[in-house]
Amino acid sequence: MGIKVAKFGGSSVADALQIRKIKKIIQDDEAIRYVVVSAPGKRFAEDSKVTDLLYLCKTHMEHKLPYEQIFNVIRDRYIAVAHDLGIRLDLEKEFDEISREISEGASVDYIASRGEYLNAKLIAEYLGYDFIDAGDVIRFTEKGRFMEERTDELLREALAEHENAVIPGFYGRRTDSTIKTFSRGGSDITGALVARAADADVYENWTDVSGFLMADPRIVDNPKPIATISYKELRELSYMGASVLHEEAIYPAKAANIPINIRNTNRPEDPGTMITAEPDKKCGQVISGIAGRKDFTVIGISKSHLAGEKGFIRKLAGIMEDNDITIEHIPTGIDTMSVVLDNKMINGRLEEILEEMRQQLKPDSMDVFEDMALIATVGIGMAERKGTSATLFTALAEAGVNIRMIDQGSSEMNIIVGVENRDFNKAIKAIYGAFVEQEDAE
């Protein structure tokens, strides 16, 4: 039988009710040998995540404000869960220890990590699994750089000694034994690292949605779920704003060729989305998903004989670099070139940048379109299918959407269109309609 590693996010382990659900999921699948958990997340919309409360304790301390009240809220939350689940764990002792460390000036990373640490201890006890402290198996250098190979060795040694175990996500230790966390949402990374070290067949990432949807449900009514998607396609979609998984979590799983299955703790019967190394060409769907972001500026540059001018792009890139701006896209024509920039990067300096461009690039003319949105239509199936762009552009034309920019990635895996912000929803609906609803009807 294969091995699965299951990581449960904050909302999946937020209270006793949720933890009962995860026990059922784990008991129903013998392949789940190792479990990685986040700290308790929100139980309802206005609730606070334990990690946020822990950071708040530290901020209070730094400002010499009392933090005990917040600390007690956290303590009561764990004690209530333990009580509800009938777990006998000396939580008071754990909290006394943490409280002592805090009063002695513990680092922010140590404090933040305790959310995962305590939750993993509690859940291990409830499941009857061993507890492996992430501090013993996830390693960083003294300067805080993640040590990938050393971590893999330590994890493999530890896993070999435990048939079943729970491991807290989010943190590890530096070589000088101090605690260091990954960036926020980092338990996803821990899960991927454990999956790799366990030579898992699947890395299950349990959250509160049944995987990815083909479009934003706030824009399209009942979009279809994505059953399978490749890492590359997902990268394109997440760049455009679709996010469920921590970006860095993809790399360890991808390197070890382990598929990631996004699952819903509240609907375990749903298959979720499977993220694989190779695209699933059999499924017949031309596109995998549509995602987009608003608030870009497109600067169109026209200059006669631009195509023959050496160093033009270098100068353009230099201007952006000097202004600390990354370029999103540079679609080019013969004597025209556009540069697409994120408004956040421009940060109110558009006039200055245009002036620099005028002086250094000496264009014949420049057109500026502010308030632009970019929409990516992504799918490995597009490269093989004739007429994909015709379908896309016809759909947008019929919806009365004016396209200001087009860019197709060299892999032919995506087509990006620039439209006005106000046409954003209309455009996404039209593309979804043409590719998904239309195909289903055929």
> Which structure tokens are listed for 315?
């100068």
Count Cβ atoms below 10 Å from residue 141 Cβ, excluding itself.
13
Query: Which of 67, 62, 8 is CA-nearest to residue 40?
Result: 8
In angstroms, give the least distance from the CB of 53 to ligand ASP: 10
In angstroms, give the least distance from the CB of 413 to ligand ASP: 29
Report the residue from 106, 115, 279, 381 that binds ligand ASP according to the rule CB under 6 A: 115
The answer to whether residues 253 and 196 touch, using CB atoms and an 8 Å cutoff, is: yes
Identify which of residues 46 and 324 has a Cβ nearer to ligand ASP in the complex: 46
The span from the CA of 176 to the CA of 132, in Å, is 19
Query: Which of 247, 163, 174, 172 is CA-nearest to residue 198?
Result: 163
Contacts to ligand ASP from residues 154-183, by CB under 6 A:
169-170
Identify which of residues 34 and 296 has a Cβ nearer to ligand ASP in the complex: 34
427 scored as a contact of ligand ASP (CB under 6 A):
no
The answer to whether residues 434 and 312 touch, using CB atoms and an 8 Å cutoff, is: no
Site size toward ligand ASP, by CB under 6 A: 13
> Which structure tokens are listed for 330?
């540079």
Identify which of residues 75 and 114 has a Cβ nearer to ligand ASP in the complex: 114
> Which structure tokens are listed for 121?
């201890």
Report the residue from 135, 168, 172, 185 that binds ligand ASP according to the rule CB under 6 A: 185
10 scored as a contact of ligand ASP (CB under 6 A):
yes
Contacts to ligand ASP from residues 20-39, by CB under 6 A:
38-39
| Block residue for tokens 């972001």 | 293
The radius of gyration of the chain's CA atoms, rounded to the nearest angstrom, is 25
The answer to whether residues 297 and 369 touch, using CB atoms and an 8 Å cutoff, is: yes
11 scored as a contact of ligand ASP (CB under 6 A):
no
Q: Give the binding range for ligand ASP (CB under 6 A) out of 184-192, 257-265, 282-290, 330-338.
A: 184-192
In angstroms, give the least distance from the CB of 102 to ligand ASP: 18
| Helix/strand/coil percent split, the chain, to 5 | 45, 20, 35
Report the residue from 135, 168, 186, 418 that binds ligand ASP according to the rule CB under 6 A: 186
Q: Which residues bind ligand ASP (CB under 6 A)?
A: 10, 38-39, 49, 51, 115, 169-170, 184-188
